[in-house]
């Protein structure tokens, strides 16, 4: 018998038919003797609708009341799934965030979980065999008011609950059947990964492969929760229950490195289109200039990602390029203009026609030459690299957005990721 947390996102509980389908997945696990806590999101689109209502009521509003409103979508789906399970003869009850309880800090709208005293829920799961249907996304703050965990937060609810009850696995059901080596929409030869390490998943997630909320992966890594990303759209009765998989686990397991048997040098290629490039041409090349550029950006809470600085032939001036989120570009340009008197003379350019392509893999730690091969392959295709940044397990390059597909495809086959 396994103790499981199953999480279903908005598209998986979009209407009563989909909720019945979810109940079938739960039934399969229960009938195999597994104890299940099920975490649900609101019906697809519901949270957006609720957020819009709060804004319409008053553009500036009390964050505590925002949470009271937007958390309600999960109350509905947890109750509906409990009713559906009961009607199938499966003992179940709903648990709202405050009932579990998910204790959080007081940062309404983006609260962090501080503690989950889950003894009661665990006992009921194990002793009574009662399915716990838990409203995701919700918590209770120090002031006893309802909090929410930030958009996409029910992934984090599920992982945190799995850690608190000591679950064997946290199955995240979504509308894709796992994590792919890259976006299958641009590379049809992309493959589903059997397993990926937490660290790689974090890079994939923050690089634009939007499968799991980043915070949930960080939490899974810290608490050692094994997470299986899988599809709720596969027919529930065609899949093996946990413990009966015998080799064929349907989905991608996000786990510690030690559990990954066949480690590739590169596990995946990610790309992010929401990068924008800012260039300062001809700034003075002397101590303190970088601080005068990046200080004001930090103060304005603008995250800078890649940074490149060139030397110009006269040795006295330099060109400085950095990237920010596209949504921050206008603000970043204003901040730099505002600091002009401190920075000195320069020409300022901004562009959104760039994309960041990243090659990710923990195997890079022990293999030299990954970057060199990457640069050569791109050069052979005539793709110019405008900026580079690296970490221990990732190499990112900035290129003209027009070459996104060509670059991703080229790198995908270069590192042997293409499906046969
Ligand atoms: N319903 C919430 C949202 O849409 C939480 C979630 O889906 O994870 O952000
Ligand atoms: Mg989600």
Establish whether residue 152 lines the binding site of ligand 1, counting it when its CB lies within 6 angstroms of any ligand atom: yes
User: Distance between CA 223 and CA 164 in Å, rounded?
Assistant: 9
DSSP string, 50-80: HHHHHHHH-SS--HHHHHHHHTHHHHHHHHH
- Report the nearest-CA residue for atom 8 of ligand 1: 152
State which ligand 1 atom lies nearest to the alpha carbon of 213.
8
**pLDDT tens for each residue of 251-289:** 999 999 999 877 789 999 999 999 999 999 999 988 899
Q: Please give the average per-residue pLDDT across 53-62, as a whole number.
A: 97
DSSP helix, strand, coil percent of the chain (3-state; round to 5): 40, 25, 35
pTM for this predicted structure: 0.89
- Which tokens go with 84? 């559906």
Average pLDDT, the chain: 94
CA distances from 133 to 32, 78, 84 (A): 18, 6, 11
Nearest Cα neighbor of 11 from 159, 231, 225 is 231
Specify the residue for token string 């510690």: 256
Tell how far the Cα of 347 is from the centroid of ligand 1, in angstroms. Answer: 43
Binning pLDDT at 50, 70 and 90, where does residue 117 land?
very high
292: cis peptide before it, omega within 30°?
Answer: no
User: Distance between CA 174 and CA 10 in Å, rounded?
Assistant: 8
- Which tokens go with 388? 């580079």
Establish whether residue 10 lines the binding site of ligand 1, counting it when its CB lies within 6 angstroms of any ligand atom: yes
Q: CB of 6 within 8 A of CB of 171?
A: yes
pLDDT at 209 over 70: no
Which domains are seen in the chain, by residue range? 3-259 (3.40.1160.10), 263-420 (3.30.2130.10)
89 alpha carbon, distance to own chain's centre: 35
Binning pLDDT at 50, 70 and 90, where does residue 61 land?
very high
Q: CB of 400 within 8 A of CB of 354?
A: yes
User: Distance between CA 90 and CA 129 in Å, rounded?
Assistant: 9
**pLDDT tens for each residue of 230-255:** 999 989 988 999 988 877 778 999 99
Establish whether residue 97 lines the binding site of ligand 1, counting it when its CB lies within 6 angstroms of any ligand atom: no
Q: CB of 146 within 8 A of CB of 109?
A: no
Q: Which residues surround ligand 2, an ion (CB under 5 A)?
A: 9, 152
User: Distance between CA 239 and CA 241 in Å, rounded?
Assistant: 7
Binning pLDDT at 50, 70 and 90, where does residue 208 land?
low
């Amino acid at each position: 018998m396994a103790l499981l947390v199953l999480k279903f996102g908005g598209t998986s509980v979009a209407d009563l038919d989909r909720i019945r389908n979810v109940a079938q997945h739960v039934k399969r696990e229960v009938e195999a003797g597994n104890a299940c806590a099920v975490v649900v999101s609101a019906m697809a689109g519901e949270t957006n609708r609720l957020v819009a209502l709060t804004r319409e009521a008053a553009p500036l509003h009390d964050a505590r009341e925002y949470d009271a409103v937007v958390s309600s979508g999960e109350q509905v789906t947890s109750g509906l799934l409990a009713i559906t399970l009961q009607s199938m003869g499966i003992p179940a009850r709903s648990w709202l965030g405050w009932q579990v309880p998910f204790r959080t800090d007081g940062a309404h709208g983006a609260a962090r979980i501080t503690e989950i005293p889950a003894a009661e829920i665990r006992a009921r799961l194990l002793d009574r065999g009662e399915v716990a249907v838990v409203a995701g996304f919700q918590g209770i703050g120090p002031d006893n008011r309802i909090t929410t965990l930030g958009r996409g937060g029910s992934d984090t609810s599920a992982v945190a609950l799995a850690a608190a009850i000591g679950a064997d696995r946290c199955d995240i059901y979504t509308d894709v059947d796992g994590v792919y080596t890259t976006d299958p929409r641009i590379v049809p030869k992309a493959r589903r990964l059997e397993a990926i390490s937490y660290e790689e998943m974090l890079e994939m997630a923050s690089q634009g492969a939007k499968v799991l909320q980043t915070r949930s992966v960080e939490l899974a890594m810290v608490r050692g929760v094994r997470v299986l990303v899988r599809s709720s759209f596969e027919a529930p009765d065609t899949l093996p229950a946990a413990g009966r998989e015998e080799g064929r686990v349907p989905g991608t397991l996000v786990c510690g490195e030690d559990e990954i048997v066949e480690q590739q040098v590169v596990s995946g290629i990610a790309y992010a289109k929401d990068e924008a490039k800012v260039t300062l041409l001809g700034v003075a090349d002397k101590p303190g200039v970088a601080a005068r550029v990046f200080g004001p950006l930090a103060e304005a809470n603008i995250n800078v990602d890649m940074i490149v600085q060139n030397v110009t032939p006269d040795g006295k001036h330099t060109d400085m390029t950095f990237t920010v989120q596209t949504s921050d570009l206008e603000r970043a340009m204003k901040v730099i203009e505002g600091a002009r008197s401190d920075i000195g003379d320069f020409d300022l350019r901004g562009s959104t026609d760039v994309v960041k392509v990243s090659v990710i893999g923990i195997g890079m730690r022990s293999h030299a030459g990954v970057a060199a091969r990457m640069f050569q392959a791109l050069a052979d295709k005539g793709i110019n690299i405008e900026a580079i940044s690296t970490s221990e397990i990732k190499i990112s390059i900035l290129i003209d957005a027009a070459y996104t597909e060509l670059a991703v495809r080229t790198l995908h086959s270069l590192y042997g990721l293409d499906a046969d």
